[in-house]
């Protein structure tokens, strides 16, 4: 029973396409339904720039399907970084520095459309391939790989025979993008949920490893807790100023 509750990595060969598709869709439906409200503890390790490993940090994550999240990264003196998004809007606060940024994915050229939706999909493994992707799926060793497009984005997804994602790659027009590797799963809550994963951009300018624990699924999202508060006297930062501040502070 203890082993069944622990995160595990599946090593299976030659997945059967029809069964893998059936299992994937069934488990995805459960994750999407439970993802209406998620509360979890995280431990993060970041590398930025490549090879420069930053100290691990504890964090609290809130998710709300389909496109909202809030991540609070702790420090010895409280909250180092409070980051949240809903739809196209992203808010970041550095409480200790009394600095904050309110950004729009389109207006501020984040280079990332729908940041809230992307973070939710990545952390909940909520990728939904169309039927045509399943029709063209190909076995690659121990996984079944699918490819499809969503607007200007190209996606590739690998799943094992149990229907769990192994990795996903999202590439934007021009070549920029991210890859998420799902390295462990936890089924103790009654739903298979990512327990260990890494996120890296294609040119490896950053990489974040994440351990997920104490996952809870409240009945409904708390919109107030999902909102990143901005102190009235906080200095407003541009996107570039926020990036430089985070790099200097060593935040994940």
Is residue 11 very low, low, confident or very high in pLDDT (cuts 50, 70, 90)?
A: very low
Give mean pLDDT, residues 41-58. Answer: 78
pLDDT at 12: 41
Does 35 score more than 90 pLDDT?
yes
Query: Which homologous superfamily is 34-249 in?
Result: Lipoprotein localisation LolA/LolB/LppX (2.50.20.10)
What per-residue confidence (pLDDT) applies to 21?
87
pLDDT recorded at residue 49: 60
Q: Where are the domains of the chain?
A: 34-249
Mean pLDDT lowest for which of 77-81, 162-166, 215-219?
77-81
Residue 217 has pLDDT above 80, yes or no: yes
Residue reference for tokens 């904050």: 100
Band (pLDDT 50/70/90 cuts) for residue 2 is very low
Instruction: Specify the pTM.
Output: 0.84
- Say if residue 48's pLDDT is above 60: yes
Q: What is the pLDDT of residue 37?
A: 97
Picking from 14-28, 42-56, 61-75, which range would have the lowest pLDDT averaged per residue?
42-56
pLDDT above 80 for 147? yes
More confident residue, 109 or 228: 228
**pLDDT above 70 for 248:** no
Mean of per-residue pLDDT scores for the chain:
85
């Amino acid at each position: 029973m203890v082993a069944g509750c622990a995160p595990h990595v599946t090593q299976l060969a030659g997945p059967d396409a029809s069964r893998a598709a059936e299992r994937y869709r069934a488990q995805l439906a459960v994750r999407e339904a439970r993802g209406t409200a998620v509360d979890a503890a995280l431990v993060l390790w970041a590398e930025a720039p490549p090879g420069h490993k930053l100290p691990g940090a504890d964090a609290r994550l809130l998710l709300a399907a389909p496109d909202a999240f809030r991540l609070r990264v702790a420090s010895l003196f409280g909250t180092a970084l409070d980051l949240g998004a809903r739809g196209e809007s992203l808010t970041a606060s550095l409480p200790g520095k009394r600095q904050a940024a309110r950004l729009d994915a389109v207006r501020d050229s984040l280079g990332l459309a729908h940041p809230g939706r992307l973070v939710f999909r990545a952390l909940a493994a909520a990728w939904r391939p169309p039927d045509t992707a399943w029709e063209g799926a190909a076995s690659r060793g121990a996984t079944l790989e699918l490819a499809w497009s969503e607007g200007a984005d190209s996606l590739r997804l690998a799943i094992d025979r149990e229907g769990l994602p192994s990795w996903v790659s999202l590439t934007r027009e021009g070549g920029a993008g991210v890859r998420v590797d799902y390295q462990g799963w936890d089924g103790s809550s009654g739903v298979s949920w990512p327990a260990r994963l890494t996120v890296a951009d294609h040119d490896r300018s950053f990489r974040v490893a994440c351990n997920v624990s104490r996952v809870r699924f409240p009945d409904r999202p708390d919109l107030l807790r999902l909102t990143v508060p901005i102190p009235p006297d906080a200095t407003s930062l541009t996107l570039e100023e926020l990036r430089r501040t985070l790099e200097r502070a060593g935040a994940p």
